[in-house]
């Protein structure tokens, strides 16, 4: 494929005339040529904690130059988007019923994925979904804004405790605290029926999710996600999600249910 065709494929998927899409992020360290210095130290907030603020994307999977459109065009996904356990030796430790379910969901081409029906992606998939996310860090709350569905997740940092008998919800209930340079988030109350990845890895209501987030330098974020869900998995498992800073741009506004006509064609197999 010639380079102009690649460019055309990219543009076909890109929104036109988007706003502030080339807006320079204020206050970020830059190289002499004006480009952001992504290997500069992680910034800090006024209260001395690392600042996680910025727009982030899951590190995209390697993609051959002639397959960019197939890799998702301008929304190139990371490998964990398809399979959250892709880097775990032996894969995710599914309970037998969960393994069967994932097999069925994969065979059905993911037609029952809530995301395919314009439902929320859930707390974990806010990290792995191809559209960008923006972190806003305040002393009492961390807010994650997602491009997908103009939606958000809140992580409370005002010292409140997790609810004891949470009513299940798509984002669950999250509280976070700092342990040194790690931001540690605990989440309960996740809703059964949420998929953790495109393969359809399940989660049950008793699950607990722990995220350890650290900004290793200006341009990189590491998130170690641990899922403890004995009903669905034979043991707790931890995966590392690597997020890259996306400087000098802004979030776009994408709403799945806008003119949604795809679900009728999702017939599986």
Partner 1 sequence: MPSGNRARGQREVARMTASAIVSIVSLLSATLCAPLAAQWLDHPTPGIPRAPDGKPNLSAAAPKTPDGKPDLSGVWYRLSPKYGRNIAADLKPGEVQPWAETLVQQRHENLSKDSMNTLCLPLGPAYTTAGDGTTSAGMMKIVQSPGLIVILNPDLTYRQVYMDGRALETTPNPNWMGYSVGRWEGDTLVVDSFGFNDRTWLDSEGHPHSEALRTTERYRRRNLGTLDIEMTLSDPAVYAKPWTVAVSAELAADTEMLEYVCNENNKNREHWVGTAADDRKSGIKVAPEILTKYIGTYEEQPKFWSHVPRTVQITVSGAALFGDMDGRGMTPLVALSETSFSGLYGLGVDFVRDDQGPVTQLFVKHVSGNYKFLRKK
Least CB distance to partner 1 at residue 257 (A): 5
Which residues bind to partner 1, rule: CB under 8 A?
15-20, 23, 26, 46, 117-120, 136, 138, 140-141, 143, 145, 149-152, 154, 158-160, 163, 166-167, 169-171, 173, 189, 251-253, 255, 257-258
Q: Quick check: 199 and 113 in contact, CB under 8 A? A: no
Residues composing the chain: 269
State in angstroms the smallest separation of the CB of 28 from partner 1.
Answer: 12
What's the DSSP call for residue 93? -
> Within 10 Å of residue 259's Cβ, how many Cβ atoms?
7
Terminal C-alpha separation, the chain = 30
Closer CB to partner 1, residue 66 or residue 262?
Answer: 262
How is residue 266 written in tokens?
Answer: 């999702």
Nearer to partner 1, 37 or 169 (CB): 169
The least distance separating partner 1 from the CB of residue 139, rounded to whole angstroms, comes to 10
Concatenate the DSSP letters of all residues of 53-66 into one string: -EEEEEPPPP--GG
Minimum CB distance to partner 1, residue 186 (Å) = 14
Q: Which is nearer to partner 1, 238 or 263 (CB)?
A: 263
Write out the two tokens for 123: 């707390």
Q: Which is nearer to partner 1, 20 or 97 (CB)?
A: 20
Min. distance of Cβ 116 from partner 1 in angstroms?
Answer: 12
Pairing of strands 220-228, 208-217: antiparallel
């Amino acid at each position: 494929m010639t380079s102009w065709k690649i460019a055309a494929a990219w543009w076909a998927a890109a929104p036109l005339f988007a706003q502030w899409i080339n807006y320079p992020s204020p206050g970020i360290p830059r190289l002499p040529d004006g480009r952001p210095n992504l290997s500069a130290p992680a910034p800090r907030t006024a209260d001395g904690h690392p600042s996680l603020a910025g727009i982030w994307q899951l590190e995209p999977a390697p993609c051959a130059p002639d397959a960019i459109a197939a890799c998702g065009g301008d929304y190139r996904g990371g490998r964990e988007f398809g399979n959250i356990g892709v880097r775990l030796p032996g894969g995710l430790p599914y309970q037998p019923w969960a393994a069967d379910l994932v097999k069925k969901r994969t065979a059905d081409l993911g037609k029952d994925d809530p995301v395919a029906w314009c439902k929320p992606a859930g707390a974990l998939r806010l990290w792995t979904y191809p559209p960008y996310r923006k972190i806003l860090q305040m002393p009492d709350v961390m807010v994650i804004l997602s491009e997908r569905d103009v939606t958000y997740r809140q992580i409370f940092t005002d010292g409140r405790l997790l609810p004891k008998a949470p009513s299940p919800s798509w984002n669950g209930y999250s509280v976070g605290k700092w342990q040194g340079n790690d931001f540690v988030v605990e989440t309960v109350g996740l809703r059964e029926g949420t998929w953790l990845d495109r393969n359809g890895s399940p989660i049950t209501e008793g699950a607990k999710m722990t995220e350890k987030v650290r900004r290793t330098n200006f341009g990189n974020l590491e998130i170690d996600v641990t899922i403890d869900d004995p009903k669905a998995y034979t043991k707790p498992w931890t995966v590392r999600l690597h997020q890259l800073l996306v400087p000098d741009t802004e979030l776009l506004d994408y709403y799945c249910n806008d003119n949604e006509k795809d679900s009728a064609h999702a017939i599986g197999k």
